């Protein structure tokens, strides 16, 4: 079974620029999550999708962050404009059932 694929692995941008991250989940996994992990902290949920519908985006800073999951498969997370405090690892995770997630390797974003 292929894992959760994320790209790019690393991204450096200047503040106020925009950036997009991509996630390709495990085939058949209906539930998809985006987490933000700031250095020294645990992953924090940004948004949860069930197929192509949003289940929970209550912690997504909607003034600058947006996410979509077209056709219930791949997902993109966008930040526009980026701030210094957005520097973090952005993790995509999926699950098919049960309680545990499978995570991708993440995208490390540095905003300078």
Partner 1 sequence: DQQVKQNSPSLSVQEGRISILNCDYTNSMFDYFLWYKKYPAEGPTFLISISSIKDKNEDGRFTVFLNKSAKHLSLHIVPSQPGDSAVYFCAASASGSARQLTFGSGTQLTVLP
Contact residues: partner 1, CB under 8 A: 4, 9, 33, 40-45, 48, 50, 55-56, 91, 93, 95, 99-106, 108
Give the shortest CB-54-to-partner 1 separation in angstroms.
Answer: 11
Neighbours of 30 (CB within 10 A): 15
Give the shortest CB-80-to-partner 1 separation in angstroms.
Answer: 24
- CA–CA separation, 45 vs 34, rounded Å? 6
Q: Which is nearer to partner 1, 16 or 44 (CB)?
A: 44
Give the shortest CB-10-to-partner 1 separation in angstroms.
Answer: 9
The candidate with the shortest Cα–Cα distance to 30, out of 70, 76, 66, 73, is 73
């Amino acid at each position: 079974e292929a894992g959760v694929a994320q790209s790019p692995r690393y991204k450096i941008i200047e503040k106020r620029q925009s950036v997009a991250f991509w996630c390709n989940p495990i085939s058949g996994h209906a539930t998809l999550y985006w987490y933000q992990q700031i250095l020294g902290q645990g992953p924090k949920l940004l948004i949860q999708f069930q197929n192509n519908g949003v289940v929970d985006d209550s912690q997504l800073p909607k003034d600058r962050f947006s996410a979509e999951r077209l056709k219930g498969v791949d997902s993109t997370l966008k930040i526009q404009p980026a701030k210094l405090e957005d520097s973090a690892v952005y993790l995509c995770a999926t699950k098919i059932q049960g309680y545990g997630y499978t995570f991708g390797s993440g995208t490390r974003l540095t905003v300078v």
